[in-house]
Structure 1
């Protein structure tokens, strides 16, 4: 089995792919669009892409490509806790410069200011890139903030664990494919993600769209607008809905079509937690 993911090795995407598909051959791609296209071109059996972070919000490249260009659906959602580790080449080395992605540095600023207030902070393209840079200069007074998998990947030593400021930091990943993989992970629930396009000539269109779920008692866990890229002020809406009531959900979708609201199903998936 071949699984595509957003690289490089040692990234959170790589860590998710390893834990979800431990026996698969993993193939790294440089951008989210390349990961999705790898599945479209049948170069891989599944593609794993980030879709939302609990702090930074939605990953627009993923959602926009799936809405505007792809005819794919998410068949699994993976929730990865984001935990940052401080790592070095040698535990005895002083730390004068800390490398990481800007988000990871921002999430770890309280720890850095307390323990290494004089260290210079250097931004990198990814946390994994920071770990690789430190590994390539073992005699320098360098450290990296990166996921635990990066330490294993590049032979680094973890000096301090969970240095991120916020403990409730999670990223949602979608597995794109046709078949539903069987995963040995903890199940959390079942959801469906829809992209709605509202007609211009329907007064209260958004209210009417949401009401087809509300009066049936179908929970919405997310609503977000994204530009349609057709004209200023025109949007499509992304909804995450509870997918357990399949018959009621089907009736809701039929009612949407009846009142002239078009929709695209971006995913119908089981949600798993990665420990």
Structure 2
């Protein structure tokens, strides 16, 4: 994708990361008011879910407890509310924010869920097709090669399509084809924004989960840290969308203007030809 001047619209990854952190810090009072209750509640849900799974393992139970399903659904709903509120917090003026990330699950949140499912299904299908196709070429004994290649491609596709999520959170209709066009030329940079940076930032907290011997306050703090870094990742995705959308819509506007001018010139030439024939 190119800008109006014909320059490549390359996503400034380092600046995006810095701007996301600066934004959250400069508006920390609003961040605490809007997101802290949701972060604390999500961390508590994860802690409770882990508790039930640990209890089932200790009792050698293989059944799925209803409480686990309830907690997972609550976590999903709250995560969507948090994500959509974070996108609006980043992209809209203050008067259009939700006062708290825990708000009514409306049409925009439902559209966000459907778009996430759509991206997930497409990437899952692509993963299995690529894995099976690669295994047919290199042999089943090199399955790790097939899996690695499929994961790399899926991360690339997922990152490019996820640029549509902030737009959906704002209540705008955004087909996946628009996301693919908007992210053209920035796939690898979006992989860094969507996957690499959030994973690196949350790695210490995931490590804390791994080394924890018991389910206690340490696990709760680790879960809170993971969700906090997720908040940073959502802001980075929103800023990336804002950057790419500006260049994409500007280019589309230029394209439509050129088409209109071409049409007017063509029409004028036709009229000139008609006038000459009549004379």
Give the TM-score category using the shorter length: under 0.3
- More helix per residue: 2
Q: Which has the higher contact order (CA 8 A, sep 6+)?
A: 2
Larger Rg over CA atoms: 2
The structure whose residues are more often strand, as a share, is 1
- TM-score, reference length from structure 2: 0.23
